[in-house]
Amino acid sequence: MSRTILLTGAGRGLGRVMAHALARDGHSLLLSSRSEDTLIETAAECRALGAAKVAYVLADLAMAGEAERLADVALDRLGTIDILVNNAGIAINEVSKDYLTNPYRFWQSDRAIIERYLAINTVAPMILAIRLVDQMKQRGWGRIVANTTSLDTMLRSSLYGASKSGLEAETAIMANDLAGSGVTANVLVPGGGCGSRMTDEMGLPRDAVLPPEIMGPPMAFLASDASDHVNGRRIQARLWDASLPPLDAMDQAGDVIAWTGCGIQGVQPAATKLSTPGQY
């Protein structure tokens, strides 16, 4: 079945790969990024690959009100949004081109750069989900997919790690809140550094990093009805075996979303009926 999809950060890299995978399955796409040139290229490629409909909109998610505007434009252009892919992000190379050999320390930050990372990587994805989830729930079907980062990267990268961990935590909360509604929320990550403009700028050869194309098959699966019962999971694309049946590939590549499987969880007051971590 063809679905309507809003994909942020669609101009290049992992976003472009996921757009291609969704186009091949005949979905309708609204692509968003800050760069019109790259969006034009991605949109043309998606049309050639068989997307039912392709449109794009420029949006700078660091700006107040842009996420709200993007959600409104998406509904206006496509009528409904079945799937939200929160892929847009600002990486650590914005503040450190050589962070692998010269780590960026938290005390190097100031309020302006902290707020920029949080605005793009945490706040905008939350706003988009808030604005789009009601119409998903009304139809009893929907997907929220977030590209966060590897758990160890969250510990190594100030700004980026903190902002992406916030998005992961909120996606876990979404999954819990949406349980039983027909709308799911999951995290999809490459599982390591992927070849991109960022890794090129860092001087990393493409054979030293993961190919971005690994994101395509799990993204296509999450957009399908076969993933109806997959909720609150963290999927590593590098572990996805496309030769397996999709649900088997999901079992191999999926794990609990952070941080439900990490450490000793707290207990809730006995008199309450609060949901407990891991109820996905």
- Domain assignment present for residue 273? The answer is no
Enter the DSSP assignment of 85. Answer: E
Q: Which two structure tokens, joined as six digits, stand for 151?
A: 């758990």
Residue 92: the pLDDT is 84
**What is the three-class DSSP state of 187?**
strand
Residue 201: the pLDDT is 63
**What is the three-class DSSP state of 119?**
helix
- Domain assignment present for residue 278? The answer is no
Q: Which two structure tokens, joined as six digits, stand for 246?
A: 């999709």
Cα–Cα nearest to 181, from 219, 145, 223, 134: 134
Residue 53: the pLDDT is 98
- Domain assignment present for residue 271? The answer is no
Q: What is the pLDDT along the chain (280 residues), one digit of tens a residue?
A: 899 999 999 999 999 999 999 999 999 999 999 999 999 999 999 999 999 999 999 999 999 999 999 999 999 999 999 999 999 999 888 888 787 788 889 999 999 999 999 999 999 999 999 999 999 999 999 999 999 988 888 888 899 999 999 999 999 999 999 999 999 999 999 988 777 666 666 666 676 679 999 999 999 999 999 999 999 999 999 999 999 999 999 999 999 998 887 777 777 776 555 554 444 3
Residue 176: the pLDDT is 96
User: Measured between alpha carbons, how far is 234 from 188 in angstroms, rounded to an integer?
Assistant: 6
The owner of tokens 């034009």 is 40
Residue 97: the pLDDT is 79
Cis peptide before 259 (omega within 30 of 0): yes
Q: Which two structure tokens, joined as six digits, stand for 71?
A: 């959600």
- Domain assignment present for residue 51? The answer is yes
Assign residue 56 the CATH number of its domain.
3.40.50.720
Say how many domains are in the chain: 1
- Domain assignment present for residue 145? The answer is yes
**Environment class of residue 24 by beta-carbon count within 10 Å: exposed (0-12), middle (13-18) or buried (19+)?**
middle
Enter the DSSP assignment of 215. Answer: G
Residue 247: the pLDDT is 97
Residue 279: the pLDDT is 42
- Domain assignment present for residue 265? The answer is no
User: Measured between alpha carbons, how far is 27 from 12 in angstroms, rounded to an integer?
Assistant: 19
**Environment class of residue 225 by beta-carbon count within 10 Å: exposed (0-12), middle (13-18) or buried (19+)?**
exposed
- Domain assignment present for residue 133? The answer is yes
User: Measured between alpha carbons, how far is 121 from 130 in angstroms, rounded to an integer?
Assistant: 15
Cα–Cα nearest to 9, from 142, 158, 238, 167: 167
- Domain assignment present for residue 234? The answer is yes
By annotation, the residues acting in catalysis are 160
What is the Cα Rg of the chain in Å? 18
Q: Which domain holds residue 223?
A: 4-256
